[in-house]
């Protein structure tokens, strides 16, 4: 947080003069010419370099794929997605090796992004963020995994199979819960980012593989989310709802990334239904185009005028008050990432999106003036000045905006029929069995607590399996 200082008039006078004199270097931020691809790439290179300084996972003794505190595991998953995109949009392969290593390591032994160190506290949305980065790797023909027996595509299919298995029609007639396991707070919460992540994965698998089963799931997830009111008739996207009220009460907060994830998935479905010859009658672009266009219009909520009247992306619930937490500081990165894809998947959105991406990029690059290098970025892009903060979220946000400017310069996300070569496995990702769940629980208690934990295990495992049993029967 910035400290307000009392500056005397003479000092203010001199600092104004000196800032005028040194303007070109001191306050220009990262240099950016919006109409010059080399300039865009070198700005992105600068911002990517500073971003990767936060990563310690490739140091001797550290764990590949982990970001240090305060960053949660899910954000690391998003971080490597930003590096996949950075390579795809700019062609700079500098960070490919650490990215392959990280994605593979955190995919875990089963390749399902449920690694032993995370499983106990992992949520569906956490798993999705890693899976979406693997999906980006598949769609962009990113270098394949080295040691895993699954390709990027197979990993995403594994996550899809698990989430489909977790679809919960015991309460609210459907939906995915936020948490995977009942011992985590928030198990009763059915949130939009978890359902949106599942929706996006299903849509992308449908488009990539052409398998209609995935498209039917995308439909089902949309219909449920709209049906309970998480997606309003004017395409506002609320944060979530809870089983305690049978999903009739909401947290109505509108975050840029929840708006973005449905927009992206709808664009994927629009693209898939426009190009595929094998879709069922319930699947048509006539259904998905109005949804896509409505979501794009609703996303105007995430822009505000900057000091010169240009539209710049912002995070309405917390940015203005400078109260965004570590997670929230990264949300604009995902909306920016998804907008670049939307331009490629639905070219009719080009004019609408590009104007705002350009003004956002200009404002965002201008305020990258912090940290050791003098180029680290802050979060309040529209303010016209650096806000004094640095972090993975801020850095990743500006990177996604910058390389997104090249969206019309490179080809769009691939599919298996347009050159995508990632290997799949439709039966990957079996859910953990009873023994594994006991191991997860036991590895998280001290020896002294084992007796108590044993009782808890019996209770939780009982709950889980009776739920599954009831679902099946």
Contact status, residue 83 vs residue 95, Cβ threshold 8 Å: yes
Choose the binding region for ligand NAG from 187-195, 340-348, 350-358, 449-457 (rule: CB under 6 A).
Answer: 340-348
Site for ligand NAG in 250-309 (CB under 6 A): 271, 274-275, 305, 309
Site for ligand NAG in 128-157 (CB under 6 A): none
Segments in 304-414 forming alpha helices (H) = 331-345, 350-366, 392-404
Contact status, residue 313 vs residue 336, Cβ threshold 8 Å: yes
**Quick one: which of 428, 437, 441, 453 contacts ligand NAG (CB under 6 A)?**
428
Is there binding between residue 96 and ligand NAG (CB under 6 A)? Answer: no
**Quick one: which of 117, 121, 326, 354 contacts ligand NAG (CB under 6 A)?**
117
Residue with Cβ nearer ligand NAG (246 or 421): 246
Residue with Cβ nearer ligand NAG (170 or 458): 170
Of 336, 350, 404, nearest to 40 by C-alpha is 404
Residue with Cβ nearer ligand NAG (22 or 170): 170
Q: How far is the CB of 114 from ligand NAG (least distance, A)?
A: 12
Q: Which H helix or E strand runs over 160?
A: helix 152-166
Give helix 96-107 / helix 124-139 axis angle, nearest 10°.
Answer: 140
Is there binding between residue 2 and ligand NAG (CB under 6 A)? Answer: no
**Total number of residues shown for the chain:** 473
Contact status, residue 402 vs residue 47, Cβ threshold 8 Å: yes
Residue with Cβ nearer ligand NAG (91 or 452): 91
Q: How far is the CB of 90 from ligand NAG (least distance, A)?
A: 15
Query: CA angle, corner 251, sides to 250 and 255, nearest 5?
Result: 130
Give me the DSSP letters along 36-66.
-HHHHHHHHHHHHHHHHTT--TTSTTSPTTP
Residue with Cβ nearer ligand NAG (5 or 59): 59
The pair phi, psi for residue 10, each rounded to 5°, is -60, -40
Query: Whose CB is nearest to ligand NAG?
Result: 412
Is there binding between residue 354 and ligand NAG (CB under 6 A)? Answer: no
Strand ranges inside 238-397, DSSP E: 240-242, 250-251, 303-305, 311-313
Of 157, 287, 153, nearest to 213 by C-alpha is 157
**Quick one: which of 173, 300, 307, 466 contacts ligand NAG (CB under 6 A)?**
173
Count residues contacting ligand NAG (CB under 6 A)? 35
Q: How far is the CB of 462 from ligand NAG (least distance, A)?
A: 20
Site string for ligand NAG, 190-229 (x = CB under 6 A): ---------------------x-x-------------xx-
**Quick one: which of 91, 290, 347, 452 contacts ligand NAG (CB under 6 A)?**
347
Residue with Cβ nearer ligand NAG (115 or 370): 115
Choose the binding region for ligand NAG from 20-28, 84-92, 426-434, 449-457 (rule: CB under 6 A).
Answer: 426-434
Q: How far is the CB of 19 from ligand NAG (least distance, A)?
A: 26
Name, in order, each residue with C-beta under 8 angstroms of 465's C-beta and a sequence gap of 6 or more. 434
- C-alpha span between 381 and 362 (Å, rounded): 9
Of 256, 394, 259, nearest to 322 by C-alpha is 394
Choose the binding region for ligand NAG from 114-122, 255-263, 366-374, 379-387 (rule: CB under 6 A).
Answer: 114-122
Q: How many helices (H) and strands (E) in the chain?
A: 15, 5
Name, in order, each residue with C-beta under 8 angstroms of 327's C-beta and a sequence gap of 6 or more. 72, 74, 75, 393
**Quick one: which of 63, 431, 445, 467 contacts ligand NAG (CB under 6 A)?**
63
Q: How far is the CB of 52 from ligand NAG (least distance, A)?
A: 5
Sites of contact with ligand NAG (CB under 6 A): 52, 58-59, 63, 95, 98, 115-117, 161, 167, 169, 172-173, 211, 213, 227-228, 246-247, 271, 274-275, 305, 309, 344-347, 412, 425-428, 471
């Amino acid at each position: 947080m910035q400290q307000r200082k009392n500056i005397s008039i003479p000092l203010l006078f001199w600092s104004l003069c000196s800032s005028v004199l040194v303007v070109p270097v001191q306050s220009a931020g990262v240099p950016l010419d919006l109409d010059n691809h080399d300039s865009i790439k070198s700005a992105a290179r600068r911002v990517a370099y500073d971003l990767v300084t936060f990563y310690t996972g490739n140091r001797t003794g550290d764990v590949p794929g982990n970001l240090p505190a305060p960053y949660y595991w899910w954000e690391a998953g998003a971080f490597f997605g930003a590096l996949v995109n950075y390579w795809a949009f700019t062609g700079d392969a500098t960070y490919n090796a650490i990215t392959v290593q990280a994605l593979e390591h955190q995919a875990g032994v089963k390749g399902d992004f449920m690694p032993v160190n995370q499983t106990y506290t992992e949520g569906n949305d956490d798993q999705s963020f890693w899976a979406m980065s693997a999906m980006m790797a598949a769609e962009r023909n990113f270098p394949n995994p080295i040691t895993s027996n699954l390709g990027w595509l197979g990993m995403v299919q594994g996550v899809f199979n698990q989430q489909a298995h977790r679809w919960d029609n015991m309460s609210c007639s459907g939906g995915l819960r936020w948490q995977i396991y009942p011992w985590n707070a928030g198990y009763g919460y059915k949130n939009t980012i978890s359902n949106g992540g599942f929706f996006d994965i299903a849509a992308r698998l449908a488009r990539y593989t052409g398998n209609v089963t995935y498209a039917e799931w995308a439909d089902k997830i949309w219909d449920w989310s709209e049906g309970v009111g998480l997606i309003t008739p004017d395409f506002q996207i609320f944060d979530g709802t809870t089983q305690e009220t049978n999903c009739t009460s909401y947290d109505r907060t509108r975050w840029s990334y929840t708006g973005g994830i449905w927009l992206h998935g709808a664009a994927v479905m629009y693209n898939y239904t426009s190009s595929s010859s094998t879709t069922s009658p319930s699947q048509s672009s006539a259904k998905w185009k109005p949804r896509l266009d409505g979501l794009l219009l609703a996303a105007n909520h995430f822009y505000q005028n900057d000091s010169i009247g240009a539209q710049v992306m912002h995070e309405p619930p917390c940015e203005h008050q400078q109260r965004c937490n570590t997670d929230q500081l990264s949300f604009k990165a995902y909306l920016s990432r998804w907008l670049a894809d939307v331009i490629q998947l639905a070219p009719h959105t080009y004019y609408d999106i590009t104007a705002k991406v350009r003004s956002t990029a200009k404002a965002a690059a201008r305020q990258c003036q912090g940290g050791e290098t003098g180029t680290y970025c802050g979060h309040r892009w529209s303010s016209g000045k650096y806000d004094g903060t640095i972090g993975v979220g801020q850095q990743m946000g500006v990177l996604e905006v910058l390389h997104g400017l090249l969206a019309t310069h490179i080809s769009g996300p691939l599919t298996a029929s347009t050159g995508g070569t990632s290997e799949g496995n439709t039966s990957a990702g079996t859910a953990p069995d009873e023994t594994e769940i006991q191991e997860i629980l036991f590895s998280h208690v001290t020896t002294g607590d084992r007796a108590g934990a044993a009782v808890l295990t019996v209770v939780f495992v009982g709950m889980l399996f009776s739920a599954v049993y009831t679902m099946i029967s």
